[in-house]
Structure 1
């Protein structure tokens, strides 16, 4: 099957919304008071520094290891991350709405405590169906997000045969690209999701070996602690062509 030579995914840097949401969760609040709509939430100062560290990581790659194109979620925090990371790199940046974050519908701006208190029927329905298939009213399930990711990756394979593509997306993007790349089951994906908090500006990647993509990095943050230093590879894991 035709496929990419290399595929990477960067989660956006810390946003002002991330900070507010964490404070609301740890403070036991029911609602998250973010003034902007989700698409317009910007990076925090820390997030901008994280994005610049990704840029240093990219600059430290050998020329033949650098991505040929970056495909970016249209949300502001993600575009800002890509713009800072790609500045001066010469890497083409393409915005694609299929990389947008999962839409939460009626659950938007509610903490876990808020969902239980204000929408008990939805809380129970989510618990029964599971995160993969649960679709909140007005929102998307993880399976819904996978439909648009599959379409995007199919186009990238066709348009960048043997190419190197870097995605800039969201936490769900990283987890679901891994699901597709490594041919995980629902149970395996949930195990990864429950055990992992995808870090802001972490790097995950897959490299083609023997006709298939194999996992190279997952949720790697070395570059955030030693700016400019390429991340250390993890042990290769068999993965499905995407």
Structure 2
């Protein structure tokens, strides 16, 4: 067995997304969120987005053979609602290597907050670049890449043909980096022009020439179901995905 089709879905809008956007909009230094990142729930809009995924899943031209999901609550809620509220099946693999990027001391800080409270980290990030900057206590994109390489090396040859993955903005971006064999420059150029929207679908298909990107961040299913389309970027160090 081997995976030949990957359907990568970002979780629906979360309460963290809403709080982070509100803090950035008002210029607050700190994002008002009491829940730890792993336990952040979907917002009401996020639940509607996740429910809108159900019709899309039902319309797929081939059945999903296996589900991979981040252990974070917002990702598990998205998958559950997309499957009609069904409990996780034996075909569902929950793996911590699919969790969101950890921001360490920059967690819950806005752009203003980083500049005011940790200006040295803003300077280090400018020097090292997005891919290699690791906030104290947190992870760089390179660190997330290492855990994804570990996960893919274990699962891509062991799992069946069609797999649906529910995870986070950074995880989906870095899955493209790994599977499409991008360079750092290619990844950063792509990320600067593209955002993984909430509850969007990105499709990769394996061919004789390797993995090919078929669809990126599609939200046609949301529009078809009348669900709101939200773009909360998790691309910056200060964002809360």
Q: Same fold (TM over 0.5)?
A: yes
Please point out which of 41, 58, 72 is paired with 2:69.
Answer: 72
Please say which of residues 81-90 and 92-101 is displaced more in the overlay. Answer: 81-90
| 3-state SS of paired residue (1:159) | coil
Match of 1:32? 31
| Cα separation, 1, equivalents of 2:212 and 2:195 | 22
Structure 1: distance between partners of 2:202 and 2:81: 18
- Alignment partner of 1:184 out of 162, 177, 182: 182
Tell me, in whole angstroms, the C-alpha distance in 1 between the residues paired with 2:51 and 2:204.
Answer: 22
Matched residue of 2:225: which SS? coil
1:88 to partner: Cα distance = 7.0
Contact conserved, 2:2 with 2:158, CA < 8 A, in 1? no
After TM superposition, where is structure 1 displaced by more than 3 Å over at least 4 residues in a row? Answer: 88-91
**Contact persistence 2:201–2:215 (CA under 8 A):** yes
Separation of aligned partners in 1, 2:13 and 2:158: 31
2:30 is the counterpart of 1:8: no
Aligned equivalent of 1:19: 18
For 1:64-213, list aligned pairs within 5 A: 65-87=62-84, 92-160=91-159, 163-213=161-211
Kindly provide the CA deviation profile for residues 39-66 of structure 1, in whole angstroms up to 9, marking residues without a partner as x. 010001110111111121010112xx22
What's the Cα RMSD here?
Answer: 1.7
Unaligned runs of 5+ in 1: 229-242
What is the aligned length? 224
Q: Distance in 2 between matches of 1:82 and 1:55?
A: 9
1:67–1:91 CA contact under 8 A, matched in 2:
no
Q: Is the 2:130–2:141 contact (alpha carbons within 8 Å) kept by the matching residues of 1?
A: yes
Q: How does 1:25-64 map to 2 (within 5 A)?
A: 25-62=24-61
Q: Secondary structure at the match of 1:226?
A: helix
Q: 2:237: which partner in 1?
A: none
Following superposition, the deviation at residue 209 of structure 1 comes to: 2.3
- Name stretches of at least 5 consecutive residues in structure 2 with no aligned partner: 227-241
1:238 corresponds to which residue? Answer: none
Pairwise CA distance, 1:91: 8.2
CA distance in 2, matches of 1:114, 1:143: 24
1:80-135 CA-to-partner distances (Å, cap 9, x unmatched) read 00111123787832211110000000000000111011101111001100110000
Q: Tell me by how many angstroms 1:4 deviates.
A: 1.8
